[in-house]
């Protein structure tokens, strides 16, 4: 059973546009929701994370929106830049063993 | 800036040979993870340590994979014998608190021929 479902699989936006990636989960025991950015040939890098006690967290151009009742969270990248072109992964954690489980990823391409 | 160190960066091995990967987590991080990432997919957890103890190895193919963290610091992941389907990126990560703020190393790209 997939712990977290991520969409879309790929996304193309123009420079200056807004990129939105979504994730949905089922287990209400999850209490930590990070987003990771990965460039080709590199390990994933922690971008931003949220706990369920807040509905939104913003760090620079990156914002997480969290909807506890819908069991969904999303990453918004404002003013998208070509340097943001990468694969983005959502993840979930919590419950009995605090295992960090990743979504399948979204390949973002920002055109100049 | 503290980093998770992994070696080697790249490894090519023949089918049926043994291969080992090494990871040195960020100092003070008690939780260490080994993930496998197939090209185009998300990282999949193979094993999670808390200090020197395994807390999750449910997805580790134990007939051929083994992992240890003897002194609760650095860790080794071994595959014996390697199979063609083991070709992937092997990622190590560490965190100070289990399941949160995990920092990844650069990974080891394994190719089995």
The reported pLDDT for the residue numbered B48 is 95
Question: In the beta sheet, which residues pair with residue B56?
Answer: B48
Identify all chain B residues contacting A43, using CB atoms and an 8 Å cutoff: 4, 91, 93, 104-107
Is pLDDT above 70 for A1? Answer: no
Task: Please indicate if any CB of chain B lies within 8 Å of the CB of A112.
Answer: no
Number of Cβ atoms within 10 Å of the Cβ of A20: 15
The DSSP secondary structure of A36-68, one letter per residue, reads: EEE-TTS--EEEEEE-TT-SEEEETTEEEEEET
> Given a cut of 90, is residue B2 above it in pLDDT?
no
How many residues belong to chain A?
Answer: 112
Distance CA B4, CA B25 (A): 5
Chain A neighbors of B4, CB-CB under 8 A? 43
Nearest-CB residue to B99 (from A41, A46, A100): A100
CB-neighbour burial class of residue A76 (10 A; exposed 0-12, middle 13-18, buried 19+): middle
Q: Could you report the per-residue pLDDT of B33-66, keeping only the tens digit for each? A: 999 999 999 999 999 999 999 999 999 999 999 9
For residue A97, the model assigns a pLDDT of 65
Query: Cα A65 to the chain's mean position, in Å?
Result: 10
Q: Do residues B105 and B52 lie in contact, with contact meaning Cβ atoms separated by under 8 Å? A: no
């Amino acid at each position: 059973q997939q712990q977290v479902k991520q969409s879309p699989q790929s996304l193309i936006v123009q420079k200056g546009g807004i990129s939105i990636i979504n994730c949905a989960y089922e287990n209400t025991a999850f209490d930590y929701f990070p987003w990771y950015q990965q460039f080709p040939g590199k390990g994933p890098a922690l971008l931003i994370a949220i706990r369920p006690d807040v509905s939104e967290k913003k760090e620079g151009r990156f914002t997480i929106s969290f909807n506890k009742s819908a069991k969904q969270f999303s990453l918004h990248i404002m003013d998208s830049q070509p340097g943001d072109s990468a694969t983005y992964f959502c993840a979930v954690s919590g419950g009995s063993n605090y295992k960090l489980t990743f979504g399948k990823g979204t390949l973002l391409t920002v055109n100049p | 800036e503290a980093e998770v160190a992994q070696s080697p960066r790249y490894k090519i091995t023949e089918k049926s040979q043994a291969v080992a990967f090494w990871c040195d987590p960020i100092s003070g991080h008690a939780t260490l993870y080994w993930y496998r990432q197939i090209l185009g997919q998300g990282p999949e957890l193979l094993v999670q340590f808390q200090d020197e103890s395994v807390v999750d190895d449910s997805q580790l193919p134990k007939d051929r994979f083994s992992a240890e963290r003897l002194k609760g610091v650095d860790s080794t992941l071994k595959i014996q014998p390697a199979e063609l389907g083991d070709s992937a990126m092997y990622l190590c990560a560490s965190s100070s608190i289990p399941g949160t703020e995990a920092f990844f190393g650069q990974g080891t790209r394994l190719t089995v021929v």
